[in-house]
Amino acid sequence: MRGHVDLPLALDREAPVPLSVQLGNQLRDGMRTGALRSGERLPSSRGLARLLGVSRTVVTEAFQQLYAEGWLEGRHGSGTYVADFTRFPSGPETAGEAPRNGGVTTPHRAGKGLIDLRPGRPWVRDYDDAAWRRAWRLAADRPPSDVIDPYGHPRLRELLADHLRRARAVPAGPENVMVTRGTGHGLDLIAATLLRPGDGAGVEEPGYRVARYVFAARGGRIVPCRVDEQGVRPADLTDDLRVLYTTPAHQFPLGGRLPIPRRERLLAWARRTGAMVVEDDYDAEFRYDVAPLAALYGLDPERVVLLGTLSKSLAPDVGIGWLVATPDLLAKIARTRKMLGDRTSGPVQEAVSVLLERGDLDRHLRRMRLEYARRRAAIVEILGSRVSGDSAGLHVFLRLPEEDVAPLLAAAAVRGVLLHTTERHHHGPVRDHGLVIGYGSASLGDIRKACLVVAALLEGR
């Protein structure tokens, strides 16, 4: 076991940047440059505070942010260590290759020789195989139940409420949480409960097309709601909406992050009109170099329903999500669910409960946060200021002139890179033209190769 490392750290008390942020930035830079290596032990928070002549709170706040981003990991009774970067793939991999940690082989290419940079796909090849097997073994030890609870298993609801409080500052208890099968399922339950034929259903434009399909299938009148580089524009919202679907943490697909003033204006609009805001927190666990904004739900639980899922943080195949609302609204949704004969698999709920109880999901999130940060950094390094929406999530946006999109898409495919455009995410005429580049399902090596292809095409080579 390595001893702790000494670093030349210097904090400037006269600078406008808080001391905890300065410290976090310097430690992060040390890990990026290799001055701090994987597995090296950091000084204790008390010892580092004494060395720097600051309060222990300054150090613990910096450590907490780096823990959340996945740069650091704690070992019980031992201390704080630089995360083990060697556990993550750094080079190109091919479909059919034996995965790490004894995991299941999952092809990550869209076809032979193609590197898939389409968004919405997480990395599922590197996970804790022992934790996964243990969760299912313990779930199998618990007998099946003949009672179907429309809210979900009580223990899982408690664990999800605790997870949301820690990860997203959501002020919710188990009485606010319903276990779903994912975002689309949660949307359908909301639509079936709240929408009447012809009710206005607002969806970001461009935005998540599944929301349009779900609302329309339940009789809603789809109202496209324009977004810009900061997210949905409250000033443009009409007063005839019954629900509004939005992605404030990382707008899909443009990548905007809804700022506090807009959040306040959006909620003021919802209170005035009586509309319900449906907040999709689909990839908010992954953020880079920025502290996360609290979920919109926490600002006004009476006017916001929060949706989340494990499909991005763990795997789409798990089929577990959550819906957070007031107990009164949750009771109405539960009645709808009973009438539909709808439920979430009991064994799957049991397995996810084990992953949460034992901290396995938190550890997985820390590992993947670090891995995705490396991939995001590679894209920004190669494509530079051309991309936006890179502060969080698993995709970035690259705006292009309309006439350049189709030729670039075709040329990239010829060179072995599969790309995705904004076209299908518009309800009406396409106004925001460009590429939505996902970095969840391709390895770091493949992402570098693909981005070099895109950069060359952009430069006309």
* Coil vs helix vs strand at 204: strand
**61 and 182 housed in the same domain:** no
Q: The domain containing residue 42 runs over which residues?
A: 19-86
Q: Are residues 370 and 338 in the same domain?
A: no
Q: Which of 34-48, 225-239, 254-268, 295-309 is least confident?
A: 34-48
The structure tokens listed for 348 are 């799957």
Contact 109, 95 (CB under 8 A): yes
Which of 340, 361, 382 is at the close of a domain? 361
- Dump strand ranges (E) for 237-394: 241-246, 276-280, 304-309, 321-324, 387-388
CA distances from 454 to 8, 163, 232, 267, 459 (A): 39, 38, 29, 40, 9
Strands 395-399 and 321-324, bridge-based pairing: unpaired
pLDDT of residue 84: 64
**What's the average model confidence in pLDDT over 360-376?**
91
- The pairing of beta strand 321-324 with beta strand 387-388: unpaired
* Number of domains the chain contains: 3
Q: Is residue 189 part of a domain?
A: yes
Report the C-alpha gap between 149 and 166 in whole angstroms.
Answer: 26
Let me know whether 238 and 296 are in one domain: yes
Is residue 103 within 8 Å of 125, Cβ to Cβ? yes
- Based on the domain organization, do 144 and 191 belong to the same domain? yes
| 370-401: pLDDT as tens digits | 899 999 999 999 999 999 999 888 999 999 99
pLDDT of residue 158: 97
> Between 202 and 101, whose confidence is greater?
202
Higher pLDDT, 345 or 66: 345
Q: Are residues 347 and 371 in the same domain?
A: no
d(CA 270, CA 454): 41
Question: Are 194 and 322 found together in one domain?
Answer: yes
Q: What is the pLDDT of residues 95-132, one digit of tens each?
A: 333 232 322 223 333 445 689 999 988 888 878 889 99
Last residue of a domain, one of 361, 395, 428: 361
- The answer to whether residues 319 and 407 belong to one domain is no
